[in-house]
């Protein structure tokens, strides 16, 4: 019996056509019209997809759960498995709920039974996504994505093949195989932007994987080139949501480049847009904004953003990044011990195989131990960082390792520290990272002063101060200015008369007087409106210049000379 073709104005066909044009409201109306005649799982599934793009979570869950039940009633396991897979991601995307998501994944696995079909390919992609983004299992994600890509090639499904390639590339990058991963991502992004891929969600997700990888590797040039094309594509499209998610990752790249005003605007727009619809997905934007606020020295705002990101529905996505954010915030506020605690928790939560994810924690751990003077404790994370640098072999990674080496060497070998910091400056300048380059210049200036290279030291510290003020890093610029003031300004020249000269600067003498009053470093920092880290450095300089073993000995020295 020959099937009678459906009429051109059939609402189900019209709804599918509207979805392909990204006309979400029109698609919703068509599927609702179709359901007015008879309730079918196809119409409910279409309605759920339209509502996903519109951000109507209430209608989305109701439509997809009803579609699942009708497919099961029809004994259509592939249809039910496909919808179950979508519901797993919905619980992550909208509600940040891992337990129901896992339940839907298991239902989809049981229904699809590993069949060589598009539905099983979609399930593999979702599992790879969850392994990478929520479970921090890059090795598992790489295996799942490779399996999905093989299935896509077998089926001749270019959307599945290229989306799998994008996730495999992102997983490889996370595992430290940056060159191999980026080649996969470049190819998948070409297929997406050239129109070779037809599925809108797959197209946008492949692009987002690329920008996320650029953010993780700090690959500014590659991100800039791809984002120019993505922005043009988004202006011509009606599917802004996925590009809002891409903008969050690109904002991370902008922070790295020192384009902080542009990054702040992009993040504010993305947070507003995503929270209105796919709320849980705003987690990354909140953490990235907290990172920016910390670098700007707006510590209270950074803490508030992290506290917000640690609550439901963001926690499922943001928990690990928040630990790292808390560590950076504690270190900036002068609490190195808390920074170590947060960083240790972060590193315990990230698999050893995920080398790129762990490097940021290792960098922070070395810094914090060095601030406390625990050079021996800094050696272990430094060795791991060196090994990661040798494997990953990118300019930013090499610069980070050399900077960490400089911090450790500065405790006992200023000449070696000088070479390390010079290499770090060069690497970060070449990578287009002004904040990191300025940080390295400041540390280079410190060791140059210790080596008696005053002119070279002043040049480096001045350059650091200017660069930090130019990008809006006022708190860090103050640290640079403090160092310049203590070494250069007339009021900070050695105090006392010519017969009984004191080797301390004006600022150091001021801190010595506060030490004599019994104030701790934290109390001194509050009184002088400086960070505890800065005060710690000044106290260390006082003891070094006076060649004394303790604070008590320094106070006694000051009392004998009338300085306190």
Per DSSP, the three-state class of 360 is helix
Kindly report the number of other CB atoms within 10 A of residue 411's CB atom: 14
DSSP annotation of 94 reads I
Res. 233 pLDDT band, cuts 50 70 90: low
DSSP annotation of 280 reads G
Q: How many Å apart are CA 251 and CA 261, to the nearest integer?
A: 10
Question: Quick check: bond before 313 cis, omega within 30?
Answer: yes
Q: How many Å apart are CA 71 and CA 107, to the nearest integer?
A: 13
Cβ pair 294, 312 in contact under 8 A: no
The secondary element (H helix, E strand) that includes residue 324 is helix 315-332
Cβ pair 365, 331 in contact under 8 A: no
Give the pLDDT mean for 3-7.
44
pLDDT tens column, 252-265: 888 988 999 999 99
Helix 506-516 with 521-528: angle, nearest 10 deg: 130
**Nearest Cα to Cα of residue 292 among 307, 305, 280, 282:** 305
Q: Tell me which of 67 and 387 has the higher pLDDT.
A: 67
DSSP string, 435-492: HHHHHHHHHHHHHHHHTT-HHHHHHHHHHHHHHHHHHT-HHHHHHHHHHHHHHHSGGG
What is the share, in percent, of the chain residues with pLDDT greater than 70?
92
Residue 497 has pLDDT above 70, yes or no: no
pLDDT at 493: 43
Backbone angles phi, psi at 532, to 5 degrees: -65, -30
DSSP annotation of 550 reads S
pLDDT tens column, 400-458: 999 999 999 998 899 999 999 999 999 999 888 999 999 999 999 999 999 999 999 99
pLDDT at 208: 84
The secondary element (H helix, E strand) that includes residue 336 is helix 336-349
pLDDT tens column, 189-230: 999 888 899 888 898 889 889 888 888 887 767 777 777 676
Q: Tell me which of 282 and 362 has the higher pLDDT.
A: 362
Cβ pair 489, 459 in contact under 8 A: no
Residue 4 has pLDDT above 70, yes or no: no
Res. 79 pLDDT band, cuts 50 70 90: very high
pLDDT tens column, 371-391: 998 999 999 999 999 988 888
Give the pLDDT mean for 290-295.
95
**Nearest Cα to Cα of residue 184 among 149, 137, 134:** 149
Handedness of CA 340, 342, 345, 349 (dihedral sign): negative
Mean pLDDT of the chain: 87
pLDDT tens column, 25-41: 999 999 999 999 889 99
Cβ pair 270, 279 in contact under 8 A: no
User: What separation in angstroms does the CA of 13 have from each of 19, 43, 73, 125, 238?
Assistant: 10, 10, 23, 27, 20
pLDDT at 488: 61
Q: How many Å apart are CA 477 and CA 259, to the nearest integer?
A: 17
pLDDT at 237: 55
pLDDT at 243: 64
Cβ pair 105, 88 in contact under 8 A: yes
Handedness of CA 14, 20, 21, 22 (dihedral sign): positive
Length of the chain: 564
Going by C-beta distance under 8 Å and a sequence separation of 6 or more, which residues neighbour residue 286? 271, 305, 306, 308, 309, 314, 318
Residue 153 has pLDDT above 80, yes or no: yes
171, 177, 179, 184 alpha-carbon torsion, rounded to 10°: -30
Identify the structural domains of the chain with CATH numbers, from first to last. 1-113 (1.25.40.10), 505-564 (1.10.10.10)
pLDDT at 492: 42
10, 15, 21, 26 alpha-carbon torsion, rounded to 10°: 110
Q: Tell me which of 29 and 314 has the higher pLDDT.
A: 29
DSSP string, 399-430: HHHHHHHHHHHTTT-HHHHHHHHHHHHHHHHH
Backbone angles phi, psi at 157, to 5 degrees: -100, 100
pLDDT at 491: 43
């Amino acid at each position: 019996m020959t099937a009678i073709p459906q009429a051109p104005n059939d609402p189900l066909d019209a709804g599918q056509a509207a979805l392909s044009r990204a006309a979400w409201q029109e698609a919703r109306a068509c599927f609702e019209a179709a359901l007015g005649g008879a309730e079918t799982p196809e119409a409910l599934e279409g309605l759920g997809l339209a509502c996903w793009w519109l951000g109507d979570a209430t209608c989305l869950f109701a439509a997809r759960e009803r579609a699942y039940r009708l497919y099961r009633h029809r004994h259509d396991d592939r249809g039910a498995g496909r919808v179950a897979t979508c519901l797993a991601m919905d619980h992550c995307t909208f509600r940040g709920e891992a337990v129901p998501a896992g339940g839907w994944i298991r239902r989809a696995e049981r229904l699809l039974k590993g069949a060589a079909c598009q539905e099983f390919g979609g399930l593999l992609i979702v599992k790879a996504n969850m392994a990478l983004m929520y479970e921090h299992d890059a090795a598992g994600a790489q295996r799942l994505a490779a399996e999905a890509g093989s299935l896509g090639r077998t089926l001749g499904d270019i959307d599945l093949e290229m989306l799998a390639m994008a996730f495999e590339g992102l997983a490889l990058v996370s595992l430290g195989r940056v060159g191999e991963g980026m080649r996969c991502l470049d190819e998948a992004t070409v297929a997406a932007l050239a129109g070779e891929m037809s599925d809108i969600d797959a197209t946008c997700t492949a692009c987002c994987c690329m920008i996320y990888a650029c953010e993780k590797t700090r690959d500014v040039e590659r991100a800039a080139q791809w984002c120019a094309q993505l922005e043009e594509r988004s202006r011509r499209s009606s599917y802004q949501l996925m590009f809002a998610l891409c903008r969050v990752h690109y904002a991370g790249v902008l922070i790295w480049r020192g384009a902080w005003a542009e990054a702040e605007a992009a993040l504010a727009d993305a947070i507003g847009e995503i929270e209105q619809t796919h709320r849980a997905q705003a987690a990354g934007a909140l953490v990235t904004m907290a990172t920016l606020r910390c670098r700007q020295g707006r510590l209270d705002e950074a803490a508030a953003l992290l506290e917000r990101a640690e609550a439901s529905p963001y926690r499922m996505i943001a928990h690990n990044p928040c630990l790292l954010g808390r560590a950076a915030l504690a270190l900036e506020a002068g609490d190195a011990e808390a920074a170590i605690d947060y960083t240790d928790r972060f590193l315990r939560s990230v698999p050893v195989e995920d080398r790129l994810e762990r490097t940021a924690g290792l960098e922070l751990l070395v810094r914090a131990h060095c601030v406390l003077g625990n050079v021996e404790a800094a050696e272990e994370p430094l060795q791991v960082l060196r090994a990661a640098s040798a494997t990953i072999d990118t300019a930013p990674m090499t610069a980070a390792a050399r900077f960490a080496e400089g911090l450790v060497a500065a405790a006992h070998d200023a000449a070696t520290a000088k070479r390390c910091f010079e290499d770090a400056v060069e690497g970060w300048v070449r990578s287009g990272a002004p904040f990191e380059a300025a940080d390295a210049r400041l540390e280079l200036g410190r060791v140059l002063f210790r080596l008696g290279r005053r002119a070279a030291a002043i040049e480096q510290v001045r350059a650091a101060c200017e660069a930090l003020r130019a990008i809006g890093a006022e708190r860090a610029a103050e640290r640079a200015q403090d160092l310049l003031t203590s070494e250069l300004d007339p009021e900070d020249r050695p105090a006392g008369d010519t017969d009984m000269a004191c080797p301390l600067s004006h600022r150091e003498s001021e801190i010595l007087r506060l030490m004599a009053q019994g104030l701790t470093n934290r109390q001194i920092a509050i009184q002088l409106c400086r960070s505890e880290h800065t005060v710690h450095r000044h106290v260390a300089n006082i003891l070094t210049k006076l060649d004394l073993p303790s604070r008590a000995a320094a106070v006694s020295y000051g009392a004998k000379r009338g300085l306190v």
